[in-house]
Every structure is written in structure tokens, then in C-alpha cells.
């Protein structure tokens, strides 16, 4: 059987995609030269620019590279380097016909990158046109963003410079030719602009600007026929520089006379930032910045104006960075030349930029545009009437303005107390460090703004069915914020944001939200019962009302502190009517712990650029990286991983595929987050038969190849659309009812929903009509809204735990303890007395001994009464609840049973589930409002029936040993078997572990190291058989994957719903090992009373330590 041919490997090139020289055609310079020689000539005419030369990597042919690699002992027969050449426009090429615009370069055998249109490039490099100047002008730089048909962006940096015109064929700046020509034979006073454009896949605006600045110092001193060689050498250098991996390692390259720094992105999900993010804050007041962000969030049609072409792109890119992790989904063209102004007539959302000279023309010709003047810091609308742009929520805006005002935006203030630097590169390094800190602070402030605006979106998401309840979300917003949220919720940007949230993407937003969430939010994330305001929140709300002026009834962001700021924007005001006052107190921006950054200096590139020189450059890179790795401290694994990444990339460029794979294998073991899985897979596929056989003989590479190549094929992408919750319009059968209830977010558990279906259909046909579902849904939501308005007196708050919530409040009733309202929390019943508000404890669910519903005589009437007997009180509590008596009887008994089960089984989830049953009972009674409503609600009295019909006895050994039982299926629709439990001890700052605290993750799938046998009864037995660390039957099977690391002896459950701290647990699920060694993963299988362990071959020596 013939061996399959290895596939070609397309190697990732460096930073450079394309480098081009642009300017006026050679034959078009005759007119300006003659005009310049005439005395009294008017301003020179405008010329049509064109692409003069293009340089595209690689600059060494495939044949030369293969020969050089073979000479070095490396095999590169399968390296698929496409042969692309640089080219220059021929001087004898036919002249473009008048009226057809600039001529485009049409080379042969030149691979132009996608997204770069050579016909449009001259207009973008000379957006103001090409004019011959009578005096030399300063060199200038501006920036481009190029987008292909697929929406992929490339970034360009353009440097314009002027050269004196000498004759119709050539123009020199060399001293000898200039002096020899003499004044009479030259076009003295005639200077022609040219431009060098560098296009990269990465937005290295500052770095490439510095590179072009270095290049221009050479181009001004060279002759015409030397220009191409200088630019080609410059492009060749950039093409050899690899892109740094995400993390703290930045690359430094000597471009002479400057040291150029190419920063890396902070993590794989973060954007690459190589510009000064404070530029918009220098151009606009914070209130104006918020208005622009509002226009972006509501996806308006925005046009930036400035007299500086460079500021158009830089300011627009800064606002794109302010939105991260949200992404602008529409057209993004920050620079429009004069010939492109008709683009602003597009009917869809866009962000574009024009020169300030076109302001009047654009505002007159197009309607509905938001016009942003960068030079004056003003915002207006192109409509005859003012554009009504909503305001960002008040508390989020206040915090943002305070934080921005506290920033130090001027580097001169930072340098005031420092001596002047006598070293150019040292001064530049100090400026970069200051800018990096400022950029991080600005990103932090903007991210906090987005989290403040959208934090509560998660409370209205249904992850299983990918549903967002926009109607309920809007009801929770403040009246002044309604218009803002209504517009934002209709945007593509917010839809993409919802997709990320429903996919549980751990991006910057999710991390900031987790880091800044309150204790109440953290607790609510672990609870299955409906959310209610905690006692802690009620207390803080009361203190706020006492200390601050009256505020709005509903606040979008209750977790933010009350901040006194100067007069803010008038609510829902138009753009033209906004006027803000100066002054105001400063508020220190939130401190951000900056991660240390490191640099790696790329070796020099030797010329002429031959294949041997390129190989020498690669050898120098490998040698320096290896040397840096040897000198690293053992604990600096973050930096070591970046060195492995770079060395593997360089060895790929050399053609040393096996060496590259070994580095990537080390990277995989060090930091999997930056592991280039696709590149490694393509590398493995390109191995020749001999190389593949060599790799199979190496244990490390054999495991890597197995991991990469045997990875299961991704299933077809599921439908990731976000659905908006809607009430049903037709009758619902059981399956449809289950889906609708889960989508509504009321309850997830399928068994509970089945009981709810039985309750709502008692004595009827087994289907639910739309009107009944609507009534039930409204009852549930009304109860939630009423719970948010509950306000307890301070005397009651003092007696309750801070994490308690009031779930049910009765009407005013007469009791033997006084007249008042009975309140139910997850722990107790208490009475809120009337008259002088007070607190009287009724009973804790744990202490109850008997709950009865009876009647007492009052004159000729029998009044329904609830009686509760407790162990701690001799007196029986009595409450004349009248029509509410039967419902409260059911609810109290269900909570009592839930609490008993929770105490017996060490599982607090029983209480949370009992609360859900209680609130469903209340909603069912409110929905049916019939004599049979109580009987229907009794269908949901699950734990009370379970406790009376079949007591769940816990074995004595388990009861004595078990500290806390975890339910891996909590928050899911149905119980599921656990494949793997992963335990990770929590560490202190000093590296030690805290006894009794750790993380236990429940995993559903494991690609390898997974036991193959599953007993189905483990997933369907009663709770005592499915869960718990002890007391499992002999026939049950449990899989435990234990990660042994630092010393620790505890558990913490971490499920999709959130984290929950769990106190000390039994030792069965732990491996105690105080010695600090690299973590190892074991898979332990308990089957019929016997333990079997899977130990990785590479860690067999650790078996003695277990």
C-alpha cells in the first residue's frame, strides 16, 4: 500500500504582509517641472498617485531556502512556501487614460495578500491628493485599516516624505548631483511627495511608525535607483520578525537608530494594543466620551472629522478598544479620501473618518449622521433636528467620569521630578512604561463601565435553551435608562454579547464581573431557588437612604457606592443641547495590579539577504532563546512557555519540524492556553514518512501526536442563535410545557416541572391553555417584584443572618404573639408586628416538632388557624390566617421537611429545592383561584410526602463521617452520572495550601485517561445512591479524578451555576501529599469495593508516594 504523501505546510510569516512605495507616475512629473521653472506660476496642479513598487514576503525563493536548509542538515522538502516576488512598475508601462483615476499595479507572479486592494491603496496613502510643493514639508504619518470581503482586517502605516524634482526621469537628493545640475537646469523649489506603506495583520501602529521613521532617514539620502533596495531590505527585516505570543513577553528589534518594541497581547482573548489609549481623553471631555460610546453601543452612523489624518484612525481604534470585549460588527473605514465621500450615504451602521475640510459637505448631503469633531471635541447631528441619543445609566456614568478625572493624562507631569534622560532609547522605554500603565488603567475603567451596564443581563438568561428574557430585563431598569437599553438590545453587538454569555465564554467581561461581584451575587450564583434580596442588601439600602439624597426607585447597578459628582448630563437630552460644567471632585481610579513585562531582543539580520543569511539569523534566534531559557528561574513557567513558543516557531521556519514539535510538546506541558493546536496539527500532517517514524519512536512526540491527531472531530456546530422568551399562543402538552417553563427561567428540574404540570391540570385534560400559562407566569413575576420591594425595620435586620432572604410575606393577621405579618426565610418564620414595627421570632425550621392546620371558635365562626410547636418553646404559636391558612400549612410543612432532609444528608440543596416548591405552590394557588387550588398545590409538596412515605435513613457510618454532600447535578434539568471529579487545593500567597479548602470540578467528558465501564443504575437511583462521598452501594461505580499538588484536605464544588465553599470533607476523595512536586493527574475507579488506579507511564516513579 502506497504511503500517503505529506501535506504542504503553510508557515506563518512574520509581521509584514506587504510593503509598497507609492507616488506620482514618473511621466506625470514633466508638467510640474516645467511649471515650476516659469516665473509667477500658480500653485502646482494635483497629480494622480499610483503604486510604484510592491514588496511581498518571502524574499528568499523556496529553492534557495531548501538548499540552505539541506546544507544545515534540516529537511524542508514538505515546506509549502509559495513563491512570491517583489516587483516594481515598469517605466515603459502605458499611461492611464484620462478620467479613469490612478493606474493600479498589475504584476505577474506576485501574491498580494487578501484585503489589500492596490487600486484603492494610492487614494488611502494620499487621502488629500498629491501636490507638488514649492518648499519641502515635514514628514508625516497616518494609519489605515483595510477590510476584506470576509470582514478580516489588516492594518497599514503610511509615511509620507518629499524629494526634490530634478528632471523628467529621475530625481536625486544626493549632494553631488544636486550641486552639479546648477540652479538653471533644475526644478528648484519643486518637491514631490512619496509614501511608503507597510501592511500587517497586527495593529502595530506605534512600532511600525518608529520603523518607518528609521527608514525615512535612509531614503532621504539615497538616489532614485537605490530607493527600492532600501525598502526591500527594510521589508525583509520586518518579514523575519515573528509575532510574539500572548503574555508578558515583548520583542525588541534594532532598526538603527531606534530600538523598536513589538508588544504582545495580554492573553489570547485580548486585543493587541500598540497605541495611546488616552488620545480620546485629550480630545473630548468624559461626558462626550460617554456620548460617543453610547452612539457605538446603539450602532449609529458615525463620522469622525479632523484636520489630522493620523488622529482619525488612532481615535477610532481607541474607541474600538474601549468597547472590548464587545466588538463593532459593522463597516469600519476610519479614513475616506475625497473620492470616497459617497460612502457616507450608506444606509447601514458604520464608523468612518473624513478630513475636516469635508465637514460642511458631509453634513449637508447625508441625514441621520452623528458628526464628531476631534479637533474641537464637539458632537452634533446632520439632521435639521437634533438627534436624540440616550444617556448611559446614571450610576455607571458617574463612576466612569470620576475614574477618568482621576487619571494623569500628561507625561510631562510624570517627568517633572525626574532628571532628563541622556539616552534616547532609555527615555523611550520610560515613556512606553508610563503609557502601558495608563493604557491598563483606561482599559480597566472602560471594562468596569461595561460590566456596570450589563451585569444584570445574566439574571435573565436561560443557558440550556439559549433564551434571553428581554421584557423582564427591561422591567428591572430605571425609568431614565429604559430608552438606552431598548436601543442597545436591538443591536448586533449586543446579540453577539449574548451569544458569548450563553456560551459561558470566560472573556474579560466575565472575569471582571466575577472579580467585582458582591457577596450576594456570589451566593445567588450557587442557589437554585429564586433570587430575593438578602438581609445584607436590605441593610445597605436602608443606610443609603439615610445618608444620601432621595434617588430613583429602581437602580440599575445596586452594587456601586453612592458617588457625589458634579452636574451630569441631562437625562435623554439631545446632542446639541448638552452643556456640562467644569469642576468636580476627583476620585481615585481603581488600582490595577500590573503584571511584569519582559523583553527578548531579536538578533541582527545580515545582508545581502541570501538563504544562508536567513538561516544564520534563525540559528542566532534559537541560540539566544535557548540561552534565555537556561538562565530562567525554575518558577518562571510563564516566560518559559513563551520561549518554547518562539523557538518552536523559529525551528518551523528553519524546516526542523521534529525540533519544533519537541518545543511545542514542552509548551503543551507548560501553558496550554497559548498552545497552537492547529499549527501543530498541520506540522504533523506535513511530516515525511521518515520523520513520522522518528517521531513515533520518541515517547514525548508520540503522546503529542496522539493528543493532536486523535482529537475527536468537532460535532456540527449547534444552533447558537439567541431566542427571546415569548409566552405560548397554543395549548401545551407536557413536553412543550417543560420546555416553556425552562425557557422562562422559573425552574429547571424536569421532575419539579412534571409535578407543576400535574398541579395546574388537576381535574382537567392534561394540557395547559395559553391563558393559564400566562396567569401562572404573571403570578410568579409579580411575587418576584413584590419581594424586591420588601423592607424590614432595623430591629428585624439585627436578628437575621446577612444571607437570609424573605421569600413569603403574609397579610396582616392576628397571632398569640400580636398582630402583624408572618415572614418566611430559608431558615425561620418570624412576625413583623404592626403599630411600632418590631421583630418576634416564631420558629426555626430546624426546631419545629409539629405543624397543624385547625380552626378556633370566635363567636359563631370557626376561624382557620395555623399551629406550630417547637422544641425550644413551651408555648404553641397560633396564627389566624383565615383564607391563607391551608397554603401556609403546606408551605411550612414543606420547608420543615426540606430542612430536616438537609440536616440528615448534609446537603443544603434540599432547602433550596423546598423553597422552589413553596413558591410554586403560591403561584399555583394564585393562578387557579378555585376551591381545588390547595389540593392542586399539594402536588408540589414533594419533600413532605417523601419524608412521611419513605424516610431516607442515612447509614450511621456515613452520617458520622460525612461533612458535606455535594450534588453534581445541581442546576441541571435532570440527574446525570459523573464521569470525573477534579480536586484542586487552594493556595495562599506564600504557596501553602489551606486545609479544608479546595475545588472539586464535576466533568462530563475526558478525552483520555477515562475508565470505560459505566453502570447505568448510578445515574437513576435515589439521591442517597447517586451522591455523597460515603455510603455507596457495592454495585455502584464512581469515577474520581484526583489532581495531586500542594498539601490540602478539603472540597469545593464548582459547577456551571457557580462556586460554593464546602468545609472539610472525607479523605476518600483526596490524595494527601505534602511534598511539592509537579501536579499529576490520576484516574481512580471504585468498582465492587475495589480500587484501581491509572498511573501515567511518565510518572510511574510517583507510585511510591501514594
Is the model more confident about 125 or about 40? 125
Q: Examine residue 257 and say whether the peptide bond preceding it is cis (omega within 30 degrees of 0).
A: yes
Query: Which string of b and e fits 601-629 if b means at least 16 CB within 10 Å?
Result: ebbebeeebebbbbbbbbebbbebbeebb
Percentage of residues of the chain with pLDDT beyond 70: 71
pLDDT band at 1016 (very low <50, low <70, confident <90, very high): very low
- Specify the residue for cell string 444528608: 905
- pLDDT computed for residue 1046 by the predictor: 31
**Which pLDDT value is given to residue 384?**
57
In terms of pLDDT, which residue wins out, 634 or 125? 125
| Residue 808 confidence (pLDDT) | 92
Any idea which of 142-146, 575-579, 924-928, 1015-1019 has the lowest mean pLDDT?
A: 1015-1019
pLDDT higher than threshold 80 for residue 963 = no
pLDDT of 1077-1106, one tens digit each? 333 333 333 333 333 333 344 444 443 333
What local confidence, expressed as pLDDT, does residue 934 receive? 93
- 639-666 pLDDT per residue, tens: 999 999 999 999 998 889 999 999 999 9
pLDDT score for 373 = 97
CA distance 263 to 62: 30
For residue 417, what is its C-alpha cell? 521630578
pTM (predicted TM-score): 0.78
Q: Quick check: 78 pLDDT over 50? A: no
Grid cell 419533600 — which residue?
943
Q: Out of 503-507, 533-537, 708-712, 1063-1067, pick the least confident.
A: 1063-1067
Q: At what angle do helices 508-516 and 424-454 cross, to 10 degrees?
A: 70
pLDDT score for 202: 94
In tens, the pLDDT along 446-474 reads 999 999 999 999 988 988 888 999 998 99
pLDDT per residue as tens digits for the range 884-943: 999 999 999 999 999 998 888 888 889 999 999 999 999 999 999 888 899 999 999 999
**Distance in angstroms (rounded) separating the CA atoms of residues 639 and 539:** 47
DSSP H or E segment with residue 9: none
Chain segment 842-895, per-residue pLDDT in tens: 999 999 999 999 988 877 788 899 999 998 888 999 999 989 999 999 999 999
**200 secondary structure, DSSP code:** E
Average pLDDT on 588-607 reads 75
Q: What is the mean pLDDT of residues 702-731?
A: 79
Beta-carbon contacts of 522 under 8 Å, excluding residues fewer than 6 positions away, are 1058, 1059
Residue with cell 446632520: 382
Q: What is the 3-state secondary structure (H, E, C) of 144-178?
A: EEEECCCCCEEEEEEEEEEEECCCCCCCCCCHHHH
Confidence of residue 1050 (pLDDT cuts 50, 70, 90): very low
Mean predicted lDDT score pLDDT of the chain = 77
Question: Which H or E element spans position 770?
Answer: helix 770-788
Whether the predicted pLDDT of 1065 surpasses 50 = no
Q: Is 1092 exposed, middle or buried (0-12, 13-18, 19+ CB in 10 A)?
A: exposed
∠ Cα 1061 1062 1066 (to 5°): 155
Please name the residue ranges forming H helices in 302-423: 309-322, 359-365, 394-405, 411-415
- Per-residue pLDDT, 411: 87
Mean pLDDT for 371-397 is 87
Comparison of pLDDT for 972 and 699, the residue scoring more: 699
| pLDDT score at 148 | 82
The DSSP letter of residue 1027 is: S
Alpha helices, DSSP H, located in 929-1077: 933-938, 942-949, 956-961, 1023-1026
- For residues 516 and 444, is the Cβ–Cβ distance under 8 A? no
Kindly state the average pLDDT of the residues 802-814.
90
Rounded to whole angstroms, the Cα distance separating 732 from 106 reads 65
Q: Annotate 899-918 with DSSP letters as a single string.
A: HHHHHHHT-THHHHHHHHHH
Strand partners, 598: 249
Residue by residue, DSSP assigns 525-579 as HH--SPP--BHHHHHHHHHHHHHS----SS-S-TTSPP---S--PPTT-BSTT--
The three cell numbers locating residue 515: 472579580
Measure the CA–CA gap between 747 and 941, rounded to whole angstroms. 16
What confidence score (pLDDT) does residue 386 get?
Answer: 60
Instruction: Say whether pLDDT at 37 is over 60.
Output: no
pLDDT score of 130: 87
**Helix crossing, 909-928 with 750-760: angle to 10°?**
20
Is residue 1007 pLDDT above 50, yes or no? Answer: no
Question: At 584, phi and psi to the nearest 5?
Answer: 125, 155
Amino acid at each position: 500500500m502506497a504511503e500517503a504523501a505529506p501535506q504542504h505546510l503553510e508557515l506563518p510569516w512574520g509581521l509584514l504582509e506587504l510593503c509598497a512605495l507609492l507616488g506620482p507616475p514618473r511621466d506625470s512629473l514633466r508638467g510640474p517641472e516645467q511649471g515650476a521653472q516659469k516665473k509667477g506660476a500658480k500653485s502646482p496642479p494635483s497629480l494622480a498617485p499610483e503604486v510604484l513598487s510592491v514588496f511581498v514576503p518571502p524574499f528568499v525563493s523556496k529553492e534557495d531556502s531548501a538548499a540552505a536548509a539541506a546544507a544545515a542538515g534540516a529537511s524542508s522538502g514538505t515546506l509549502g512556501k509559495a513563491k512570491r516576488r517583489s516587483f516594481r512598475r515598469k517605466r515603459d508601462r502605458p499611461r492611464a487614460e484620462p478620467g479613469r483615476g490612478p493606474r493600479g499595479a498589475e504584476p505577474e507572479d506576485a501574491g498580494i495578500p487578501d484585503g489589500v486592494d492596490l487600486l484603492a491603496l494610492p487614494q488611502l496613502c494620499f487621502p488629500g491628493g498629491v501636490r507638488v510643493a514649492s518648499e519641502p514639508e515635514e514628514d508625516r504619518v497616518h494609519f489605515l485599516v483595510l477590510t476584506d470581503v470576509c470582514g478580516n482586517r489588516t492594518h497599514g502605516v503610511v509615511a509620507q516624505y518629499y524629494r526634490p524634482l530634478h528632471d523628467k526621469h529621475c530625481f536625486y537628493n544626493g549632494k553631488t548631483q544636486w550641486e552639479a545640475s546648477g540652479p538653471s537646469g533644475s526644478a528648484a523649489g519643486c518637491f514631490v511627495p512619496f509614501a511608503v506603506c507597510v501592511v500587517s495583520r497586527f495593529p502595530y501602529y506605534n512600532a511600525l511608525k518608529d520603523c518607518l521613521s528609521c527608514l525615512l532617514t535612509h531614503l532621504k539620502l539615497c538616489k532614485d535607483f537605490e530607493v527600492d533596495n532600501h525598502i526591500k531590505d527594510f521589508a525583509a527585516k520586518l518579514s523575519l520578525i515573528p509575532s510574539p505570543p500572548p503574555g508578558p513577553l515583548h520583542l525588541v528589534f534594532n532598526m538603527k537608530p531606534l530600538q523598536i518594541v513589538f508588544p504582545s497581547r495580554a492573553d489570547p482573548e485580548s486585543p493587541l494594543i500598540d497605541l495611546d489609549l488616552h488620545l480620546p481623553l485629550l480630545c473630548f471631555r468624559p461626558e462626550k466620551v460617554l456620548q460617543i460610546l453610547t452612539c457605538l453601543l446603539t450602532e449609529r452612523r458615525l463620522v469622525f472629522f479632523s484636520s489630522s489624518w493620523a488622529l482619525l484612525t488612532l481615535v477610532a481604534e481607541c474607541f474600538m478598544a474601549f468597547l472590548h470585549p464587545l466588538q463593532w460588527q459593522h463597516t469600519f473605514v476610519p479614513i475616506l479620501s475625497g473620492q470616497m465621500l459617497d460612502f457616507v450615504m450608506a444606509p447601514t451602521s458604520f464608523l468612518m473618518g473624513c478630513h475636516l475640510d469635508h465637514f460642511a459637505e458631509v453634513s449637508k448631503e447625508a441625514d441621520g449622521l452623528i458628526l464628531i469633531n476631534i479637533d474641537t471635541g464637539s458632537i452634533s447631528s446632520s439632521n435639521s433636528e437634533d438627534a436624540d441619543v440616550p444617556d448611559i445609566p446614571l450610576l455607571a456614568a458617574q463612576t466612569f467620569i470620576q475614574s477618568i478625572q482621576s487619571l494623569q493624562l500628561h507625561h510631562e507631569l510624570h517627568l517633572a521630578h525626574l532628571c532628563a534622560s541622556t539616552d534616547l532609547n532609555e527615555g523611550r522605554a520610560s515613556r512606553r512604561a508610563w503609557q502601558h500603565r495608563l493604557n491598563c488603567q483606561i482599559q480597566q475603567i472602560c471594562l468596569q463601565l461595561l460590566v456596570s451596564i450589563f451585569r444584570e443581563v445574566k439574571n435573565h438568561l436561560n443557558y440550556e435553551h439559549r433564551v434571553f428574557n428581554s421584557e423582564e430585563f427591561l422591567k428591572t431598569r430605571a425609568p431614565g435608562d429604559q430608552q438606552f437599553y431598548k436601543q442597545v438590545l436591538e443591536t448586533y453587538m449586543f446579540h453577539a454579547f449574548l451569544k458569548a454569555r450563553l456560551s459561558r465564554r470566560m472573556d474579560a467581561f466575565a472575569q471582571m464581573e466575577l472579580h467585582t461581584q458582591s457577596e450576594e451575587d456570589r451566593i445567588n450564583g450557587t442557589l437554585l431557588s429564586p433570587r430575593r434580596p438578602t438581609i445584607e442588601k436590605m441593610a445597605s439600602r436602608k443606610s443609603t437612604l439615610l445618608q444620601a439624597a432621595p434617588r430613583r426607585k429602581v437602580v440599575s447597578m445596586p452594587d456601586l457606592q453612592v458617588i457625589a459628582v458634579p452636574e451630569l448630563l441631562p437625562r435623554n437630552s439631545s446632542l446639541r443641547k448638552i452643556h456640562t460644567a467644569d469642576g468636580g471632585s476627583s476620585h481615585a481610579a481603581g488600582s490595577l495590579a500590573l503584571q511584569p513585562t519582559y523583553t527578548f531582543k531579536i538578533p541582527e539580520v545580515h545582508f545581502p539577504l541570501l538563504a544562508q543569511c536567513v538561516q544564520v539569523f534563525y540559528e542566532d534566534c534559537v541560540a539566544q532563546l535557548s540561552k534565555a531559557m537556561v538562565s530562567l528561574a525554575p518558577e518562571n513557567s510563564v516566560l518559559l512557555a513563551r520561549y518554547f513558543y518562539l523557538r518552536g516557531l523559529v525551528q518551523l521556519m528553519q524546516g526542523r519540524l521534529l525540533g519544533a514539535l519537541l518545543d511545542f510538546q514542552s509548551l503543551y506541558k507548560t501553558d496550554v492556553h497559548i498552545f497552537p493546536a492547529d499549527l501543530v496539527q498541520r506540522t504533523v500532517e506535513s511530516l515525511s514518512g521518515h520523520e513520522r517514524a522518528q517521531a513515533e519512536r520518541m515517547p514525548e512526540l508520540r503522546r503529542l501526536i496522539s493528543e493532536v491527531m486523535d482529537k475527536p472531530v468537532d460535532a456540527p456546530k449547534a444552533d447558537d442563535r439567541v431566542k427571546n422568551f415569548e409566552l405560548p399562543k397554543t395549548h401545551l402538552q407536557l413536553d412543550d410545557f417543560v420546555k416553556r417553563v425552562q425557557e422562562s427561567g422559573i425552574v429547571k428540574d424536569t421532575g419539579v416541572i412534571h409535578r407543576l404540570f400535574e398541579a395546574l391540570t388537576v381535574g382537567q385534560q392534561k394540557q395547559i391553555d395559553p391563558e393559564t400559562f400566562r396567569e401562572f407566569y404573571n403570578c410568579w413575576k409579580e411575587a418576584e417584584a413584590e419581594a424586591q420591594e420588601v423592607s424590614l425595620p432595623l430591629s428585624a435586620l439585627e436578628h437575621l443572618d446577612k444571607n437570609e432572604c424573605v421569600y413569603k410575606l403574609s397579610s396582616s393577621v392576628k397571632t398569640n404573639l400580636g398582630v402583624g405579618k408572618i415572614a418566611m426565610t430559608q431558615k425561620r418564620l418570624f412576625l413583623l408586628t404592626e403599630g411600632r414595627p418590631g421583630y418576634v421570632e416564631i420558629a426555626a425550621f430546624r426546631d419545629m416538632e409539629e405543624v397543624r392546620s385547625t380552626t378556633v371558635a370566635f363567636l359563631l365562626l370557626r376561624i382557620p388557624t395555623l399551629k406550630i410547636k417547637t422544641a425550644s418553646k413551651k408555648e404553641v404559636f397560633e396564627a389566624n390566617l383565615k383564607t391563607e391558612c391551608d397554603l401556609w400549612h403546606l408551605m411550612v410543612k414543606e420547608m420543615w421537611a426540606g430542612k430536616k432532609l438537609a440536616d440528615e444528608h448534609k446537603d443544603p440543596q434540599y432547602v433550596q429545592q423546598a423553597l422552589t416548591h413553596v413558591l410554586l405552590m403560591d403561584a399555583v394557588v394564585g393562578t387557579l383561584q378555585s376551591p381545588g387550588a390547595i389540593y392542586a398545590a399539594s402536588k408540589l409538596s414533594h419533600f413532605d410526602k417523601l419524608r412521611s412515605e419513605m424516610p431516607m435513613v442515612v447509614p450511621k457510618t456515613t452520617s458520622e463521617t460525612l461533612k458535606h454532600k455535594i450534588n453534581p447535578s445541581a442546576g441541571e434539568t435532570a440527574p446525570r452520572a459523573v464521569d470525573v471529579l477534579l480536586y484542586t487545593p487552594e493556595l495562599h500567597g506564600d504557596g501553602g495550601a489551606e486545609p479544608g479548602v479546595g475545588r472539586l470540578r464535576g466533568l462530563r467528558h475526558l478525552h483520555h485517561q477515562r475508565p470505560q465501564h459505566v453502570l447505568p443504575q448510578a445515574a437513576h437511583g435515589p439521591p442517597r445512591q447517586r451522591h455523597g462521598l460515603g455510603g455507596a452501594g457495592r454495585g455502584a461505580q464512581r469515577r474520581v479524578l484526583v489532581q495531586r499538588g500542594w498539601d490540602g484536605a478539603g472540597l469545593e464544588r464548582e459547577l456551571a451555576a457557580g462556586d460554593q465553599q464546602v468545609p472539610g470533607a472525607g479523605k476518600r476523595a483526596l490524595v494527601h501529599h505534602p511534598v511539592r512536586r509537579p501536579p499529576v493527574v490520576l484516574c481512580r475507579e471504585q468498582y465492587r469495593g475495589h480500587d484501581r488506579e491509572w498511573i501515567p507511564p511518565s510518572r510511574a516513579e510517583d507510585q511510591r508516594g501514594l
